[in-house]
Amino acid sequence: MRRFFLFFFFILIGAAAAAAYCVLAPFGPSSETFVDIPPGTSTPRIAAMLKQNGIIRSAFVFDAMHAIKDGSLKAGEYRFDHPATLAEVFSRLREGDVYTVSVTIPEGSNLFDIAQRLESAGLGPKEKFLAAATENVNLVADLDPQASSLEGYLFPDTYEFPRHATPEQIQEIMVRRFRQEAARLGLQGDAHRIVTLASLVERETPIPAERPIVASVFINRMAKGIPLMTDPSVIYATLLKGKYRGTIYESDLQDDSPYNTYKHPGLPPGPICSPGADSLRAAMDPAQTDYLYFVAASANPSGKSRFSTTLEEHAHDVAAYRKSLHSTAQ
């Protein structure tokens, strides 16, 4: 009987030591390994997947840890690139520390810019994203029934996307972010007009304090029936046709595109980029001015826009701009 108890005791000691080794000794790959856990996967199946991919030593000990610690394990794709203890692996799955790709979309990015950034981040071909941006227009149908694409409604921000996110999923996330910001700003009324105006303001000046003034210039010009004559909308027209050559040519100014604000008065048919919060706020609450003209800060070596009420003043500002540009070039 004594021998039996001694044998049983040593078996328990051995089992405890083995379990402790499985729990405390780091294990796993030294190179990048991904494990994608589908929603609804059971804990035994998760343990088996981790064991199969060389992330843990023992599926049984992982199951036992779950029974002791409890807590649901989160679905998603996980990235393992170094040996880790079983407790660390378990904690990551319980906290949902899934692998994501970080992408920053700057203010003023248009669909083409966004598609290129996503492609560069390994999130799929830009052509698929651009096609989906037209097909998924129903995402903003309640906000903007006139929208022909998601242009303007993919809010600029830093996002953490799953590695295998589809264009539809990415766009849904970005539109949801736009809705959150619109609600915070109190955007009401004609969203199509506000976002379109905000997109022009966004591309005309990088200086937040100038944006309400730029918005007032556009509103004043529209009130007098004067074409907006804004270069960013002309550039956007060439982008839509795949003909942008890095600058604006006379033939671009003569093009009959509805986005050519030199030929067509009023706002273009829709947004030309994704405006940030400052530009949306400026479009919602523009400054009260008499300005009808300006030389944009983005084109001015002085780093600020020049505003004027008369054509004569504007001509003087243009001459000053050209002089400073010439001096900078020298």
pLDDT digits (tens, 9 = 90+) for 119-134: 999 999 999 999 999 9
Q: What whole-number distance in Å separates Cα of residue 129 and Cα of residue 162?
A: 15
Residues linked to residue 159 through DSSP beta bridges, in sequence order: 103
Residue 3 lies in a domain: no
What is the residue range of 321's domain?
A: 191-329
Please indicate, yes or no, if residue 4 is contained in any of the structural domains. Answer: no
Residue 12 lies in a domain: no
Alpha-carbon gap, residue 186 to 60, rounded angstroms: 54
Residue 15 placed within a domain: no
Helix (H) or strand (E) holding 193: helix 191-204
Contact 49, 37 (CB under 8 A): yes
pLDDT at 2 over 70: no
Q: 222-245 pLDDT, tens per residue? A: 999 999 999 999 999 999 999 998
Share of the chain above pLDDT 90, in %: 73
Does 278 lie in the same domain as 161?
no
Render the burial of 50-70: b for 16+ CB within 10 Å, e for the rest.
bbebebbbbbebbbbbbeeee
Estimate the crossing angle of helix 126-135 against helix 167-185, to 10 degrees.
60
Q: How far apart are CA 146 and CA 270, in angstroms?
A: 8
Contacts of 106 (CB under 8 A, 6+ apart): 113, 156
Query: How many whole angstroms from its chain centre is CA 308?
Result: 36
- Mark whether 149 and 220 lie in a shared domain: no
Give a yes or no: residue 2 inside a domain.
no
240 with 284, same domain: the answer is: yes
Same domain, 205 and 234: yes
User: Same domain, yes or no, for 146 and 270?
Assistant: no
Instruction: Kindly state whether residue 290 falls inside one of the protein's structural domains.
Output: yes
For residue 131, count CB atoms less than 10 angstroms from its CB and return exposed for 0-12, middle for 13-18, buried for 19 or more: middle
Residue 262 CA: distances (Å) to CA of 151, 180, 256, 259: 21, 34, 10, 9
Distance between CA atoms of 294 and 286, rounded to whole angstroms? 15
Per DSSP, 313 falls in state H
207 in the same domain as 289? yes
Tell me the average pLDDT of the chain: 89
Q: What is the pLDDT of residues 102-156, one digit of tens each?
A: 999 999 999 999 999 999 999 999 999 999 999 999 999 999 999 999 999 999 9
Residues 178 and 90 in one domain: no
Same-domain check for residues 79 and 200? no
Q: Are residues 262 and 302 in the same domain?
A: yes
52 belongs to a structural domain: yes
Length of the chain in terms of residues written: 330
9 in any annotated domain: no
pLDDT beyond 50 at 91: yes
* Side-chain half-sphere CA neighbours of 318 within 13 A: 8
Report the CATH number at residue 112: 3.30.1490
Residue 128 to residue 94: CA distance in whole angstroms? 34
Q: Which residue type sits at 42?
A: S
Q: How does pLDDT run across 265-318, given as a tens digit for each residue?
A: 999 999 999 999 999 999 999 999 999 999 876 554 456 888 999 988 888 777
* Rg of the chain (C-alpha set): 29
Residue where a domain stops, chosen among 69, 98, 127:
98
Statement to judge: residues 113 and 65 lie in one domain: no
Last residue of one domain, picked from the residues 120, 152, 185 = 185
| Model pLDDT for residues 3-61, shown as the tens digit of each residue | 555 444 445 554 444 555 556 678 889 889 999 999 999 999 999 999 999 999 999 99
Lowest pLDDT segment from 59-68, 245-254, 301-310, 320-329: 320-329
Domain count, the chain: 3
Question: 84 and 33, same structural domain?
Answer: yes
Q: Is 241 in a helix, a strand, or coil?
A: coil
User: What does the pLDDT read at residue 17?
Assistant: 47
d(CA 96, CA 162): 12
Question: At which of 156, 185, 214 does a domain end?
Answer: 185
CA angle at 293 for the pair 287 and 299, rounded to the nearest 5°:
100
pLDDT of amino acid 23: 63
265 and 153 in a common domain: no
Q: Are 248 and 324 in contact (CB under 8 A)?
A: no
